[in-house]
Every structure is written in structure tokens, then in C-alpha cells.
Amino acid sequence: MSSENLPPDVIKRVVKELKELNSSTLEGITLLPCEEDITNIEAVVTGPAGTPYEGGYFKARLILSSDFPRSPPKANFITKIFHPNVSKKGEICVNTLKKDWAEDLGLKHILLTIKCLLIVPNAESSLNEDASRLLLENYEDYCKHAKLFTSIHASKPIVDINNNNNNNNNSENTATPTSTTSTPSITTASTSSPVKKKTETTTSTTTKAQPKKSLKRL
């Protein structure tokens, strides 16, 4: 669904919340917004320490309906995960997005709730019977299965995290290359002496090509 289907006041609210999430730091949560469609929101949830999901990177998606915020968004994990409250297709079951939903609950609250679900699973609202049964009957086996899924499907950092951090620190990153390229020690060492040697022994066309070679060494 496109954001065009949302009322202007809702679009304004969602944009504001996304900006706040981008400017703030949520421990273990990295927002991956899609500027083209604000109704499709993705985030990476890092597996909390002390849980079977520790060390994992789980991409989650929130899909806002045209009836948002009267109706809660749909939430699912894109990354495969072994969890009582997550179906094999990735659908997330949590009371916040069902009977406990309220219009004033924001995106930040939803993402934090999903993260907390990795810390404290709820066997009563199960979407994965195998995970729920192991959680209740044999916690050690449940942890083994969850750790195995994490190591297979969620052990590699998601590249989008780095891209998102680069975007948030865009002003710092643009300033850094400028300062390094203008540093005398770099420019003098790489361009002055080689060019002088070439200008004494070669033609003008060779002299023009030389700076390109020195730039490649940089």
C-alpha cells in the first residue's frame, strides 16, 4: 500500500515519528525507513544478551493499513526465527498489536515491544506450536533450537545497518574526506615528486596522465 492512501494528518504523524526514531538511539534497534513508502517500515532488531537470540540480527517489518492508527499495523519478521510468538511465515503475535492496541501507541513502542518479545516469549499466544511446547516442557531444547536458527539465519550483520548509520552521520562523513584530501602530507607526497620526474623526461601528454596514476594509489 502506498502512503498516498493515508490521510494527511496520519502521514504527518508517521513522518514525525520516523524522524524522531532516526534522531534517537534505541538500544538493539536500527530503523531502515523507506522514503518512497512510509507505510512499509523495516527495522533490524539485535538479539538481546542472555537470550537464545543473542548475536543475531533480525529484520522486522511493520505494514500500516489505510485505517492506521485506528487499526494496528501488521508486524512480521523477515529473518527466520524460532519463537513461540512468530509463525513460520514470520507473522508476529503480540497483544500490543491486537487487543491492547490504542491509537496513541507509536512506532517506537511497537518496536520496543517486539524486542521485549525476544526476551520474554509468551507461550499463551502461540503461533509456533513446536516452539511453544519446548518453551513450556523443555527450555534447554527450546534454547538449542532457537540458537540453531539464529546461527543459520541471523548470524550475519545486515548491510543496511551500515548504510543507515552512514545516512545518519552524513554531515560528519562529508566533512571527513574534505579534510583528508586537503592535508598537505597526502597531496604533496602523492603528486609533487612523481610529476616533477615525469615533466623532465616525458612529453606533456604523459605529464597529464601521471596525476591519475597517483590518485589511484590514494
**Cis amide linkage into residue 69, ω under 30° from 0:** yes
Query: Does the annotation count 93 as an active-site position?
Result: yes
Task: Determine the Cα–Cα distance for residues 187 and 180; give it in Å rounded to an integer.
Answer: 9
**Total residue length of the chain:** 218
Q: At what angle do helices 129-137 and 139-153 cross, to 10 degrees?
A: 140
Question: How is residue 139 written as a grid cell?
Answer: 527450555
Contact 77, 59 (CB under 8 A): yes
Q: Among residues 38, 92, 91, which one has the least CA distance to residue 66?
A: 38
Which one is catalytic: 34, 93, 116, 143? 93
Catalytic positions, please? 93
